[in-house]
Amino acid sequence: MNVIETKNLTKYYGEVKGVENLTFSVKKGEIFGFLGPNGAGKTTTIRTLLGYLNKTSGEAYIFGKNIDDEIVDIKKEVGYIPGDLNIYGHLTGKQLLDFFSSLRHREMILLDELLKIFNIPLERKIKGYSKGMKQMLGIIQAFMDDPEIVIMDEPTSGLDPLLQQKFYDFLRKQKTKRKTMFLSSHILSEVDKICDRIGIIKEGELVALENVDTLKSKSGKKIKLKIKEKPEKFKGPKDMKIHDGWIEFVTTDNIDIWIKEFSKYTIIDLDINDFSLEDIFIHYYEMKS
């Protein structure tokens, strides 16, 4: 079951492209990573999905409901962590959470659990909070009433590594409950650790959409080789590089082909690795440049 679905979703700001022809879906119970550098169109996509921006064309559905017609009903089951978290500084943390609770008219069944993870001074005014404290408050308000979907725009911004890990553990627990999470990030390691599938966006257009492990396997292997002979004698691909005696190249061929080629030389050292998500990201961005 798809809980988020877009078909050629497009948003222009006048003549400036925000996003164009985005077509993707997010399945129930998965953590979907939306990956791209700042300015790629991640926030525009999220704000359009949530009705904060009017789309230029295309279609988008959440829970099978059209965002044009049923956005009010949709938001009753959607938590949201914005990338630009502007919250009322004159309120205390408790007052802010009480305010959001009064708006949503739902039981805050995860509030106690979240407050154990994110220990923030609820009686202090928010204007005295650090960036990390404000981010924790944003996470709490998004999840506290146990929504079916949470859409997150750079959710770990300002969190220290220990809190980031606790947050990832919390997301994994939510996933076991078949909750759905859409996570926008430019942090490659974050997406690699937590997400089931990813979409890579560049300049407002989707350039990849795949299961993380499948995407890695499709993208090839990195090979580093050191031979006793002069490295220039090695018959590798045209784009291979030689650095400090190491022969380096990337291949999408069956690795068997290269094992046979290696046997023609005296191997001193050999290192073969799958593409990391970072390698994939760079590959797609260089390919589309």
pLDDT in tens, 146-179: 999 999 999 998 899 999 999 999 999 999 999 9
Quickly state the pLDDT bin for 272 (edges 50, 70, 90): very high
Q: Mean pLDDT, to the nearest integer, of 38-53?
A: 94
Mean pLDDT for the stretch of residues 186-207: 89
Residue type, 101: S
- pLDDT, mean of residues 4-32: 97
- Residue-wise pLDDT for 52-75, tens only, equals 999 999 999 999 999 999 999 999
What is the average pLDDT value for the chain, to the nearest integer? 91
pTM attached to this predicted model: 0.81
Q: Which of 81-85, 118-122, 179-183, 196-200 has the lowest mean pLDDT?
A: 81-85
- For residue 287, what pLDDT is reported? 62
pLDDT tops 60 at residue 288: no
Supply the DSSP string of the chain, one letter for each residue: -EEEEEEEEEEEETTEEEEEEEEEEEETT-EEEEE--TTSSHHHHHHHHTTSS--SEEEEEETTEEHHHHHHHHHTTEEEE-SS----TTSBHHHHHHHHHHHHTS--TTHHHHHHHS---TTSBGGG--HHHHHHHHHHHHHTT--SEEEEESTTTT--HHHHHHHHHHHHHHHHTT-EEEEEES-HHHHHHH-SEEEEEETTEEEEEEEHHHHHHHT-EEEEEEESS-GGGS---TT-EEETTEEEEEE-S-HHHHHHHHTTS-EEEEEEEEPPHHHHHHHHHHHH-
Separation CA 179–CA 175 (nearest Å)? 5
Q: What is the pLDDT of residue 104?
A: 82
Edge-first strand listing for the sheet containing 65-66: 16-27, 2-13, 57-62, 65-66
Can you list the domains of the chain with their CATH numbers?
2-216 (3.40.50.300), 220-288 (3.30.70)
Q: Which pLDDT value is given to residue 218?
A: 67
pLDDT tens readout for residues 15-24: 999 999 999 9
Q: What is the pLDDT of residue 221?
A: 84
